[in-house]
Amino acid sequence: MTWLQKEIRLRARQRGFHIVTEEIVRQLPELRQMRVGLAHIFIKHTSASLALNENADPTVRSDLEAHFELLAPEDAPHYVHTYEGPDDMPAHIKAVLIGSSLTIPITLGRLNLGVWQGIYLCEHRDRGGSRTVVVTMTGE
């Protein structure tokens, strides 16, 4: 059994749900060496999150963004944590709701995702900057 851990950077994006599957895979050439295993992907931020969802129709991503804006709006009167800007506290709420990690099977050197699945970077800040993820892979 082999273990590999690697930090990779995702380019900066504006607020929204962005498919980053290929950006992650491009930075993991070691993935091609694994016949069977698991990839754990963890984002090292509190105002962005990771999710698996639809990789074909972009309206899914825009609908998700619209829905999360309703769940955690900017400038809610009950927020106390407001000194980092109006998008900060809603970003923390969204990150808690969606989560900070994914575990995906590896099969024959590829992430074993469903036909319509893609890895999302869920950017909850207007300008969150580049994001760092830690990928831990184990397998043979």
Q: How far apart are CA 130 and CA 83, in angstroms?
A: 21
**Other C-beta atoms within 10 Å of 137: how many?**
22
Domains of the chain, start order: 2-139 (2.60.120.460)
Cβ atoms of 92 and 46 closer than 8 Å: yes
Phi–psi pair at 68, nearest 5 degrees: -70, -25
Report the share of the chain in percent with pLDDT over 90.
99
- Tens-digit pLDDT profile for residues 52-81: 999 999 999 999 999 999 999 999 999 999
Q: What is the model's pLDDT at position 105?
A: 98
Q: What is the model's pLDDT at position 76?
A: 95
